[in-house]
Amino acid sequence: MIAYRSGLRPQGWPLFWLLAALVLLMSATLLAAHADPVAGVRAVIRATARSSFALFLSVFVASSLTTLVPNGLTRALLRERRYLGLAFAFSHLVHAIAIVRLGQLDPSFWPGRSALTNLPGGLGYAFIVLLSATSFHALAQRMGAQAWKRLHTAGVWVIALIFALSYFKRIPTDPLYALPFALMCAAVAVRAVGKWAQSEKRRWARQRRAPSPVSPNLEPQA
């Protein structure tokens, strides 16, 4: 059963399946558009890197945007953050499959990469697997709230750093990579400011709930 909360906008798992289908359709179209299989796979790698980046940004800033700019769109991002995150993982899975396929089609690809070159990507995928697995309630409950929060906070920051470094190191060869790098930096700023605003809101809420101090009775006793 497909559930919708308003209009024709998909929610929950229908949103995930829609995004996954779009990633697959995009990849199939790019492969079909290139007569050279190597060129087609390279196009899929670039496209899925961009789709993964866009989906990750929506997850990364969802909570902070809801705090800073509360409206229907930001609340929808926060509400669907889990499914957007899983769609990001799916997009990056397709990205990984395309990389493996490129290594099969181009024998010079893997020898041209070192263990150090592969380290950030490997670390990023390790966190993506962990974050995806713990996005399901059964495993999340076994972890406990504090462990779950620590893992997901560390994971998204590691992935954000990997995206930033990946784009930054490509700027000298292609200045257009400065745009996604700037977007990642802006997202970091939005998240930091949003977390500070959330902390301030919680502090004021605690102060309002705290009982007022009892004033001493200065009247003379009879």
pLDDT in tens, 61-83: 999 999 999 999 999 999 999 99
Question: What is residue 178's predicted lDDT score, i.e. its pLDDT?
Answer: 97
- In this predicted structure, the answer to whether residue 217 has a pLDDT above a threshold of 90 is no
Question: What is residue 201's predicted lDDT score, i.e. its pLDDT?
Answer: 83
The C-alpha atoms of residue 17 and residue 110 are separated, in whole angstroms, by 32
Question: What is residue 6's predicted lDDT score, i.e. its pLDDT?
Answer: 46
Task: Give the pLDDT confidence of 186-208 residue by residue, as tens digits.
Answer: 999 999 999 999 888 888 877 77
Task: Give the pLDDT confidence of 25-63 residue by residue, as tens digits.
Answer: 999 999 999 999 999 999 999 999 999 999 999 999 999
CB 91, CB 52: distance < 8 Å:
yes
Question: What is residue 213's predicted lDDT score, i.e. its pLDDT?
Answer: 57
Give this prediction's pTM: 0.87
- In this predicted structure, the answer to whether residue 150 has a pLDDT above a threshold of 50 is yes
Across the chain, what does the average pLDDT equal?
A: 90
Question: What is residue 95's predicted lDDT score, i.e. its pLDDT?
Answer: 98
Task: Give the pLDDT confidence of 158-181 residue by residue, as tens digits.
Answer: 999 999 999 999 999 999 999 999
Mean pLDDT, rounded, for 20-27? 98
User: What is the number of alpha carbons within 13 Å of residue 174 lying toward its C-beta?
Assistant: 8
- In this predicted structure, the answer to whether residue 218 has a pLDDT above a threshold of 70 is no
Question: What is residue 110's predicted lDDT score, i.e. its pLDDT?
Answer: 86
Question: What is residue 179's predicted lDDT score, i.e. its pLDDT?
Answer: 97
Question: What is residue 211's predicted lDDT score, i.e. its pLDDT?
Answer: 65
Q: What residue has token string 């990507």? A: 121
Cα distances from 34 to residues 26, 50, 118, in angstroms, run: 13, 19, 27
Name the percent of the chain lying above pLDDT 70: 91
